[in-house]
Structure 1
Amino acid sequence: MDQRTYNQYCATARTLDLVGERWTLLLVRELLTGPKRFGDLRKSLRGLGTGLLAARMKHLEREGLAHKVTLPPPARTPAYALTEAGRELGPAVLALARWGTKWAMGGRREGEAFHPGWAVLAMEAFFDPDAAAGVRAVYEFRVGDEVFHVRVADGAVDADHGPAHQPDAVVETTEDVFADLADGRSSLADRIASGDATASGDRGALRLLGTLFRRPRPASRHRQDA
């Protein structure tokens, strides 16, 4: 597959030469939270055919943004992971998430896929380090079949897939309810009160949870500036 280029001596254009093709940045998004098997990527990105997925991964490998690894025991299966260059795309992907939440999201459209695991990066994108100053807590989220956790340590955040080791608080709910929470249509406290979600663990940590992440307020792209 020939690689298209903007043919411009510009850092932005050169970067888009590498990651501007359809699906490429979403593959980077998936790998930012850790190595993934080919099947994991195909499952997360419905609509991306097997052939195109293989081509995109070959492109990322060829350009030094991803490489093949073997998952540790007990899996011991081949997977893909980001290189140092690929991982340094993380802040750009998080910035796009923040921009999109404010200017592009709106409500969930009919037929749109949603994976609770995508919230792993959203937690990092919306994290408020000032609100987390002096806070040390580990939160585990169990959403449908997916489990991920967030570790907050004095103004820093680390979000990852899988269960936490000795979490301070655990939140459990369904995928649909979590989608509403992610969209800002309801609060965790309201969903707990209605029985649509459960929370256990340290009450102080649970009270702080709602203050640690600041979701950008949606705005219209078509509003005329005064």
Structure 2
Amino acid sequence: MRTEKSRSYHDGCATAHALDLIGERWALLVVRELLFGPKRFTDLRTDLRTISPNVLTQRLEALEATGIVRRRKLPPPAASWIYELTEWGSELEDTIVTLGKWAARSPFLEQGLPISRAGLLLAMRAMYRPQDDGGFCICLDMPDGTAVVSGTAEGFDIQFGDEALKSAQAMFSGTSSVLDSILFGGVSVEAALKAGDARITGDMSAMAKLLRAFPMPPAATGLAP
């Protein structure tokens, strides 16, 4: 396995060292996928659709070697190996959210591409803007997992588990890519419902509040796609 030192920028700036640690292709996306909990190798391959097994293995080994990720074996009956972020690795969440918020202003950002559940939830965290409408609490029922998202004047929150479901006012059922296209890609919720790509049950007014709470920022000026 290659060492981080052999790929170093050899620059005293801490930002350069950060790129030594997470600047390789796919590395930061592996971290993104682990921000909401541990995953097996096969789960990561599913979420990172176009990564090869060899590259994923290399990135996980490098992230483990630098203390960002750890690997552990689940007790029986599962007895499978999982990967999870260390406490230090988890601190990258704010960096990823800020980076996403910055990149959302790029005129070169292509809409309509597939997105994982973790990618969508972090995009929602980045783009959330409180509204003067009392807030919302919505269950997002997606094929790769369920999450309950809530927005108030204080901020945006993401929760998991049966206890969180009790507070949900409505449920959105569909893929993360479909919801991403509705929130950020200009697809109307009516069109998604009519096509059978999404289903909404419960308080429709609460769902409408969610749909208004994630405005895209203006594109950076002076650039042309």
Give yes or no for TM over 0.5.
yes
- Go from structure 1 to structure 2 and tell me whether the alpha carbon gap of 1:72 and 1:212 turns closer, same or farther (over 3 Å shift): farther
- 1:158 aligned residue: 157
Q: Paired residue for 1:52, among 50, 55, 58?
A: 55
Deviations 1:58-95 (A, max 9, x none): 21111111112456898563311111211111111112
Q: Hey, what's the Cα distance between the residues in 2 that align with 1:221 and 1:53?
A: 37
Residue deviations 1:39-72 (CA, integer Å, cap 9, x gap): 1111111332222212211211111111124568
Residue in structure 2 matched with residue 131 of structure 1 by the alignment? 131
1:25 aligns with 2:28: yes
Distance apart, 1:211 and its partner CA:
2.8
CA contact (8 A) 1:33 1:161 kept: no
Larger deviation: 99-108 or 140-149? 140-149
SS in 1 for 2:187: coil
Report sequence identity in percent.
34
Query: Structure 1 regions of 5+ residues with no counterpart?
Result: none
Count of aligned pairs: 218
**Alpha-carbon spacing, 1:198–1:47, altered in 2? closer, same or farther (3 Å):** closer
Q: Residue 207 of structure 2 corresponds to which residue in structure 1? A: 206
Q: Deviations over 1:163-218 (max 9, x none)?
A: 75222110123566435314422232554477653322224422321232232234
RMSD of aligned residue pairs (Cα, Å): 3.1
Alignment of 1:1-226 (within 5 A): 1-3=2-4, 4-70=7-73, 77-103=80-106, 104-108=108-112, 113-128=114-129, 130-131=130-131, 135=135, 137-144=136-143, 146-152=145-151, 154-159=153-158, 164-166=164-166, 167-173=168-174, 177-189=178-190, 191-192=192-193, 196-219=197-220, 222-223=223-224
Q: Which residue identity lines up with residue 140 of structure 2 in the other structure?
A: F
Paired AA for residue 178 in structure 1: L
| 1:96-135 alpha-carbon deviations (Å, 9 max, x no partner) | 2122222041334xxx54335521111111112x427963
Higher percent of residues as helix:
2
**Residue 165 of structure 1 aligns to which amino acid in structure 2?**
L
Long gaps (5+) in structure 2: none
